[in-house]
Amino acid sequence: MSASQLKSTTVAIVEDDERIRESLSLLIGRVEGFAISGVYPDAESAVAGIPQCRPDVVLMDINLPGMSGIECVRILKKRLPNVCVVMLTVYDEANHLLDSLKAGACGYLLKRAPSSKILEAITEARLGGMPMTRQMAGKVANYFHGLGTAMSDVQHLTPREKATLAQLAEGHRYKEIAEHLGISLDTVREYVRSIYGKLHVSSRTEAVVKYLGR
């Protein structure tokens, strides 16, 4: 399903660089199926404004004046649990990536990503995906392996649940998972609910982080 086939996806931008804010606004605003709901130069104004406009997706810079983008995500997710936040940053270090995911972000992109990738990431996040490069996903896995963290909860999943979780980790949407595994969409949702319960998580991001570190 493309962005144009969805009800218009509303996007909020949190970015302190005026040039980048304007560039992102122009990029997103001119594409059919997308609409800008708000643009904020800092985390403080975003925390005040985003709960009012309730966008579908937030593009969040990390290095903001005052409150950091990561702390902003943490606050926004408490107020708007269903909002999708994609970090858009110059940092590709594992600690920034991990801290963003732990705060509640559903995706992580570098600002140098092509415009088409940014638009794809917004759509993927809106559809329940986890936009992130395989290299970044590998950094998450390496982090957990480096700590020697035991993710024994994953071993409690059934083969079908593990297959579903593997598909989630690859960024597939529920409909695609249903097609790949030859099951119904409702069955996918049942597996995901069971996975969340067994892994003691409440989001796709947390489930995938545990899977990558298994």
Cα Rg of the chain (Å, integer): 17
Going by C-alpha positions, the residue among 206, 95, 103, 100 that lies closest to residue 146 is: 95
Look up tokens 């705060």; give the residue: 103
Give the pairing of strands 107-110 and 57-60. unpaired
pLDDT tens digits for range 63-91: 999 999 999 999 999 999 889 999 998 87
Overall average pLDDT of the 37-55 stretch: 96
Asked if residues 99 and 70 have their Cβ atoms less than 8 Å apart, the reply is yes
Label residue 36 by pLDDT band (50, 70, 90).
Answer: very high
Strand partners, 107: 86
| CATH code for the part of the protein at 149-212 | 1.10.10.10
- How far is C-alpha 74 from the chain's CA centre? 13
Token pair of 193 as six digits:
């609910």
Domain boundaries, the chain: 3-132, 149-212
Q: Give the pLDDT score at 143.
A: 64
Phi–psi pair at 44, nearest 5 degrees = -60, -45
Report the C-alpha dihedral over residues 158, 163, 169, 171, rounded to 10 degrees.
-140
d(CA 80, CA 73): 10
The burial of 42, by beta-carbon neighbours within 10 Å (0-12 exposed, 13-18 middle, 19 or more buried), is given as middle
What is the value of pTM for the model shown?
0.70
Read off the DSSP letter of residue 202.
Answer: S
Per-residue pLDDT at 46: 97
Pick the more confident residue, 119 or 207.
119
pLDDT digits (tens, 9 = 90+) for 167-192: 887 778 888 899 999 999 999 999 99
Question: Residue 167: CB partners within 8 Å, gap ≥ 6?
Answer: 176, 177, 180, 181
- The reply to whether CATH 3.40.50.12780 applies to domain 3-132 is no
* Cα–Cα dist 22/83, whole Å: 22
Q: How confident is the model at residue 3 (pLDDT cuts 50, 70, 90)?
A: very low
Report the pLDDT averaged over residues 133-147: 65
